[in-house]
């Protein structure tokens, strides 16, 4: 059986240290009181490794529940799945994972230079993945057959085998087994060719649809409706409104119509601006920008902010 453990932590974008743009939320009473937690650096590289923190019951990990044969103070080759309470109201979702990790029974200390902190898991960076915000869709149930009140969940009961298998399929193949998605897929009539714009824009829309569908969203085109965005990406109760702009070069500079910009401001919590550069090449690049409440700016997943220059125009005639 795959050695797997789930660690539930606070919510952040990057987990590379708390900044003005990336503050931890959720995660329990300690974070609520202090505004910080040990997990804020869980995806910050140090010497080719990530060092993961979680607060377990009584400060210990029960390694025997991960592998009943373990009598040591550490256990190797564990899949550590990091979860957090979604700000998109999807419940507890997977935010990333460490593959082939070493998990320790009790806290170990990292000390180098001015850095000194505790950790319970360690893995090579090349074996780890932190999901982007819009990729964090895989919900983990809570309660009797899911995660309880503790921040560590072993998913080792017979009734939890199905969840384990679904998680493993997702991590290995990017597959979300979601009945809701299957039902929606059957109910949506795809438009065979809804894009009548120039070739670059058409390619950008197709690339954006592919990008979001790969995350598990159901994507529908609303271009003809003139609503101020091109696509609607649906996942359970979450709906994202996506305006798509295509560029032939690798330079980000686009114009929004007055209606698009108005909706971008009005719907900022669920509005996304997808800018696809080098759209006609074999490997176009998708840049997703969303509104950051902390900075009141439109930023991509790397924290780079767009500069917005407001313009007015006029139609003059005799």
How far apart are alpha carbons 211 and 166 in whole angstroms?
Answer: 21
How many Å apart are CA 39 and CA 150, to the nearest integer? 15
> Quick one: tokens of 36?
């910080």
In terms of pLDDT, which residue wins out, 190 or 53? 53
- β-bridge partners, 218: 234
| 175 phi, psi to nearest 5 deg | -100, 125
- pLDDT tens for residues 205-252? 999 999 999 999 999 999 989 999 999 999 988 999 999 999 988 889
Instruction: Give the integer Cα–Cα distance in Å for 202 and 195.
Output: 6
Of 80, 182, 85, the C-alpha closest to 136 is 85
* pLDDT at residue 55 in the model: 94
H helices of 144-288, where? Answer: 161-173, 179-187, 199-215, 258-266
User: Which of 145, 155, 31, 122 is CA-nearest to residue 85?
Assistant: 31
What b/e sequence results for 79-101 when a residue is b if at least 16 CB atoms lie within 10 Å of its CB, and e otherwise? bbbbbbbbebebebbbbbbbbeb
314 versus 241: which is more confidently predicted?
Answer: 241
**Lowest-confidence range among 158-162, 168-172, 180-184, 271-275?**
180-184
Q: Return the structure tokens found at 290.
A: 């969303």
Whether this model's pTM surpasses 0.85 = no
What the block records as the tokens of 311 is 């313009």
Strands 115-124 and 74-85: unpaired
93-145 pLDDT, tens per residue? 999 999 999 999 999 999 998 899 999 999 999 999 999 999 999 999 988 88
Q: Give 153's contacts (C-beta < 8 A, 6+ positions apart).
A: 5, 6, 8, 140, 146, 147
Q: Helix or strand or coil: residue 64?
A: helix
pLDDT above 80: residue 195: no
Q: Which residues of 279-302 are buried (b: 16+ CB within 10 A; e: fewer)?
A: beeeebebbbbbbbeeeebbbbbe
- The conformation of residue 73, written as its DSSP 8-state character, comes to S
Q: What confidence score (pLDDT) does residue 20 get?
A: 86
Please, is 198 exposed, middle or buried when counting C-beta atoms within 10 Å of its C-beta (0-12, 13-18, 19+)? exposed
Select from 127, 50, 39 the least CA-distant residue to 84: 39
185-299: CATH topology: Trna Endonuclease; Chain: A, domain 1 (3.40.1350)
Helix (H, G, I), strand (E, B) or coil at 34: helix
Domain extents in the chain: 4-177, 185-299
Give the tokens for residue 212.
């979001």
């Amino acid at each position: 059986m795959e050695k797997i453990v789930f660690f539930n932590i606070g919510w952040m974008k990057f987990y590379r240290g708390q900044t003005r743009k990336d503050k931890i939320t959720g995660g329990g009473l300690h974070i609520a009181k202090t505004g910080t937690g040990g997990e804020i650096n869980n995806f910050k590289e140090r010497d080719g490794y990530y060092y993961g923190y979680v607060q377990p019951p009584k400060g210990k990990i029960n390694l025997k529940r991960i592998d009943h044969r373990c009598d040591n103070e550490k256990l190797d080759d564990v899949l550590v799945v990091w979860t957090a309470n979604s700000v998109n109201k999807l419940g507890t979702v997977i935010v990333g994972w460490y593959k082939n990790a070493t998990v320790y029974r009790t806290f170990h200390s990292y000390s180098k230079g001015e850095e000194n902190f505790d950790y319970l898991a360690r893995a090579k960076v090349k074996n780890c993945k932190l999901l982007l915000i819009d990729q964090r869709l895989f919900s983990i149930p809570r309660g009797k057959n899911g995660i309880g009140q503790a921040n560590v969940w072993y998913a080792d009961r017979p009734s939890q085998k199905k969840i384990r298998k679904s998680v493993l399929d997702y991590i290995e193949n990017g597959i979300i087994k979601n009945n809701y998605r299957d039902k929606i897929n059957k109910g949506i009539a795809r438009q065979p060719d809804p894009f009548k714009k120039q070739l670059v824009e058409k390619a950008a829309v197709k690339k954006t649809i592919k990008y979001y569908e790969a995350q598990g969203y159901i994507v529908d085109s609303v271009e003809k409706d003139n609503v101020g965005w091109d696509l609607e990406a649906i996942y359970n109760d979450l709906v994202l409104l996506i305006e798509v702009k295509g560029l032939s070069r690798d330079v980000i500079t686009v114009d929004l119509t007055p209606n698009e910009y108005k909706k971008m401001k009005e719907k900022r919590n669920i509005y996304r601006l997808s800018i696809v550069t080098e759209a006609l090449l074999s490997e176009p690049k998708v840049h997703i920008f969303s509104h950051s409440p902390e900075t009141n700016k439109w930023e991509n997943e790397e924290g780079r902010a767009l500069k917005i220059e407001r313009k007015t125009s006029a139609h003059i005639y005799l």
